[in-house]
Chains A and B, each alone.
Chain A
């Protein structure tokens, strides 16, 4: 895998990585909880035919944490701005956007705002709103989320790395693998808590109707964060979408069942769905 590191302001801020032999851009966006490394079981299958673009949202992974802005990232619109700024700087067109979890909605907001960059959308375990509301099954009550926010405050995964990215990267442990693992899913407790708030209290049900892109919705057969009702809701309310309920279980099918995700993505991209 040939990786091209980029020097543009946005590219370094969002730690953009480009690989692959093709020209058709495939932009992967990670969800709440991890970073671009999440896609490592999926991307090799597309190396041959696509231009693969990976990035971290500001506040996640190896992004530039000094660029974090409380007001901007209080809203999914702020995260959508990251996506648009990556597209703008790389001068992308006809992007196939692949988003996991909350990134599905972030990608949709970005495409609603600037359709010129995008051609198709693949949503892995999406949800337009996480809180139960009347007949709508989001899966959670507000109080459930408060408990999660509390938990976010008390976890400091890779936090030290975050503040001093190079502190552990000494020569005693050579190899790319080791260097990479140290930053996996780094979580700054304050930023993670705010990302959790922006994610779980978001409600994008009213934005679905503006979707103009051909969209694949990949739904796990058992996902507590995006239960089956969500897939049904999206099938009814997201225009131009096709729903596939997978055998895969859990909220991260792209990590637990990559073969099935890859197969469905390829079928969708080759117009077989």
Chain B
């Protein structure tokens, strides 16, 4: 029996649970150019090539541990002189009264490997030839660009559709209200010119006109942002936040903004619009602060990879994005309203402003192919979450210019 397994025309070796070689047969010794004594008691890893060791750790061992056996596993063993010997191995995990052993038997597949290598090489050569075909490559690139442009166009289309609805709402509702007031108070003034009430009416008259004026101004800014072709440059948002803080403090005497910001990775963006964005956000935080004169703003920043395709299902291209979380300890708002906050002239708080600030922010972020959202808890805080690509897409930039 001993003799049989020693010279049986296949390699055979066994190992203990901790990976020490328990036994090897002559055939294996011959392939690897070792004496039996040199191997028994040594670590299995000594006869495994590095790739086999990785494969052993990630596939072979888990398979044996879960299933108890593995068949037709291709590995390479390392001979004494470092040469790689390709093997096809079957393995068993045997539990004898709690003592675990691993048994391996296999055949050398040098010839088969050569053949297989040739097949794989031929397959790769064919693939390579296919990939290197210039015309095909150009067509593929064009196709990919078209997909990206299509994705952008769908995004743009959806956005414009939404804007159209908002403008419609503006025309039919938002501007109707001040106009109705104007008519009402003007008729009062005309009908009873001497009445003391008319002083009040005249004041309200003025306020309604201002309201219309402000809304038209906001609208103008919005349209301006929509048509602006963007010039990109490297931007340090920390600097921009510092100047936005100063500006908003000047505009709100007596208020101090405490800005606690993490280091922000540099991005390429339009400086003017980024400035506008931060000023709007800080103005908002100031407006919706809790009673008092201090506005606490925390900024968290990180970079991460996101799929740049936002509309086309099944398309993926992961690119680097900046994630900014701008948190204030303001009066917060209820979650269901978060989408509405970005709609034109949607005022969530009775004390609120014109309803133009956040839509402008959204416009700016979307101009940069990013996204913006709000999270918050009423009475606790609100957080604006902004994703911006670290670098603009040059090809899409050309497209944006065309737009």
**Which residues of A does B touch, CB under 8 Å?**
31-34, 37-38, 40, 69, 71-72, 75, 77-78, 81, 101, 109, 112-113, 116, 140, 144, 147-148, 150-157, 181, 184-185, 187, 206-207, 210, 223-225, 249-252, 255-256
Q: What is the CA–CA distance of A109 and B70 in the complex, to the nearest angstrom?
A: 34
Contact check, B63 vs A101: say whether CB atoms are below 8 A apart. no
* Contact with A33, one of B19, B49, B58, B323 (Cβ below 8 angstroms): B58
Q: What is the CA–CA distance of A210 and B323 in the complex, to the nearest angstrom?
A: 11
**Is B317 at the interface (CB under 8 A from chain A)?**
yes
Contact check, B303 vs A148: say whether CB atoms are below 8 A apart. no
Instruction: Give min CB distance, B186 to chain A, whole Å.
Output: 52
Chain B residue at smallest Cβ distance from A223: B57
- Chain A residues with CB below 8 A from B316, complex form: 69, 71-72, 78
Contact check, A109 vs B66: say whether CB atoms are below 8 A apart. no
> 0/1 per residue, B45-66, Cβ < 8 Å to A?
1000111111101110111011
Contact check, B318 vs A33: say whether CB atoms are below 8 A apart. no
Q: What is the CA–CA distance of A162 and B109 in the complex, to the nearest angstrom?
A: 25
Contact check, B318 vs A75: say whether CB atoms are below 8 A apart. yes
Q: What is the CA–CA distance of A77 and B18 in the complex, to the nearest angstrom?
A: 35
* Contact with B317, one of A31, A71, A116 (Cβ below 8 angstroms): A71
**Is B302 at the interface (CB under 8 A from chain A)?**
yes
Contact check, B57 vs A224: say whether CB atoms are below 8 A apart. yes
Q: What is the CA–CA distance of A40 and B18 in the complex, to the nearest angstrom?
A: 21
Contact check, A69 vs B314: say whether CB atoms are below 8 A apart. yes
* Contact with A207, one of B49, B76, B304 (Cβ below 8 angstroms): B304
Chain A residue at smallest Cβ distance from B387: A113
Q: List 10 A-B contacts (CB under 8 A).
A: A69-B316, A81-B307, A109-B305, A144-B54, A147-B50, A148-B50, A207-B303, A223-B57, A225-B57, A249-B18
* Contact with A71, one of B45, B57, B65, B315 (Cβ below 8 angstroms): B315
- Chain A residues with CB below 8 A from B50, complex form: 140, 144, 147-148
- Chain B residues with CB below 8 A from A207, complex form: 303-304
**Is B378 at the interface (CB under 8 A from chain A)?**
no
Within 8 A of A (CB), among B21-66: 45, 49-55, 57-59, 61-63, 65-66
Contact check, A184 vs B52: say whether CB atoms are below 8 A apart. no
